Amino acid sequence: MINSLDHLIIAVKDLDLATENYKTFLGNDPVWKGEHKSYGTANTLFNFENTYLELLAPKGEGFGADLINHMLSEDGEGLAGIVLSTPNVNKAYKSLIDSGYNLGEPADGEGINYKDSKKRKWKNLFLPPELTRGIFAFLIEHTEGSLDLPSFQKDTIHKLDHLVINTNDADGFIKIYQETYGIRLALDKVIDAWNKRMLFFRLNKTTIEVVEDKNTSESADKLWGLAWSVKNLNETCARLKKSGVEISEIKPGIKENTKVATVKSHTHNVPTLLIEHLD
């Protein structure tokens, strides 16, 4: 059903400010800036080798504006949603209906780039609470148009390494993401140093990393943070420091043959890690 982690959504108050901050952090210009008039939102998109990032702000009135305003009032700016790509949204809709889920029919979407008036079209399928479990998530099938891919340098961010999600019910998470969505579960293990169970789902050259903090509350998941892959961490950190981005010292990563640094500014409340794979 799912063939990629299509994109990530960050809710922001001031789209222009967030765009400049992420442009500084990522090291590349956005490839798209537009709006969803029917939803009441405006967005900026940054593209990468395996996914894209959407900065989303309210603009006007509509379902989207209401949703983002609610998120901003409840939790402030930060990681707000994930969008999963499907090759056939109508087939995915039928499969979920046949499995007993109650959800609305797919809806058409359209965006126009302010820069060059290019148009993109897609179909969305918003998911029921039994599947999202507290995360804003939906399925998408792109039907017209595409995003340009920037030129990546050794000191710019070129790929999403992994997305971190917290859960209190790892078994339930597996049932949804592996059994319903068909995403490959690459690893399920207990990390002794943290005494926590972790799941690693792999798709489109990235990882959905799930950390379980088990309790007796109703099953719930929460987006936590992002780890971005770079080709040369030393050069990337040097560029960021020169640009005024606050960043930690480089240290060995938990995974063998990696080194990491934590980004401490410009991310609009998204916990953010940079990682270089040395092998």
What pLDDT, on the 0 to 100 scale, is given for residue 216? Answer: 84
What pLDDT, on the 0 to 100 scale, is given for residue 265? Answer: 98
Judge whether 105 and 37 are in contact, CB under 8 Å.
no
Range 4-144 has CATH code 3.20.19.10: no
Enumerate residue ranges in the chain where pLDDT < 50.
none
Q: What is the CATH number of domain 157-277?
A: 3.10.180.10
Percent helix, strand, coil in the chain, to 5, is 20, 40, 35
Domains 4-144 and 157-277 in one fold: yes
Closest-CA residue to 56 (of 264, 219, 67, 47): 67
Round to whole Å and give the CA distance between 170 and 174: 6
DSSP, collapsed to helix, strand or coil, labels residue 87 as coil
One-letter amino acid of 78:
G
**Per-residue pLDDT tens digits for 196-224:** 999 999 999 999 999 999 888 999 999 99
Domain residue ranges in the chain: 4-144, 157-277
What pLDDT, on the 0 to 100 scale, is given for residue 169? Answer: 97
